[in-house]
Each structure stands twice: as structure tokens, then as C-alpha cells.
Amino acid sequence: MNNVNKDTLVHMIMEKTELSKKDVEAVLECFVDQVTSELKKGNKVTLTGFGTFKVSNRAAREGINPQTKAKITIPAMTVPKFTAGKTLKEAVK
């Protein structure tokens, strides 16, 4: 199993679309920026069949420092989440 990083993804898209590397990188950067921007606003981004990007609130909780075994409080935070769509789930099965 190989990991696909941004550069590999750019090359794969270049081969399928015949766009230049510069154009593919610009589109990919724009996509990431737009999804990030919408998530910051609290909106969700749905790509039908692929999945949904959304934000989730995590409550504060108590944890343990593994080195000292001391109890610590982990603060509440907002985290991004991705939920796979039906088409993506079927393709990966």
C-alpha cells in the first residue's frame, strides 16, 4: 500500500486532465482554501457521492499524562471531520 501525497496527486490529475502542473496545483490549493474557509465559518461542504466535510465540537474531558500519570484537563475544542459518501464507501469495499 502506497501513500499519496500532494505532489503525487498533482501528477495523477495532470495525466488524466492534460492540464499543466501549475494549473492543477492552483486548483488544488483553491479547493483546500475554500473548504477550510467554509469550515471556519461553521458551514459544511458536501461533495455528493464523495463525502462531507464538517466541524464537530468536542467536549472538555479528563486525561492522563502517560509520562507522569498525572490527571490533566483536555479543553473543549472544535475539530474538522470528514464523512465518506455512499459512492466512496462502495468503491472502497
Per-domain residue ranges of the chain: 1-43, 44-93
pLDDT in tens, 5-17: 999 999 999 999 9
The residue whose grid cell reads 471556519 is 40
pLDDT in tens, 26-52: 999 999 999 999 999 999 999 999 999
Whole-prediction pTM: 0.81
Cell 490533566 belongs to 72
What CATH topology corresponds to 44-93?
HU Protein; Chain A (4.10.520)
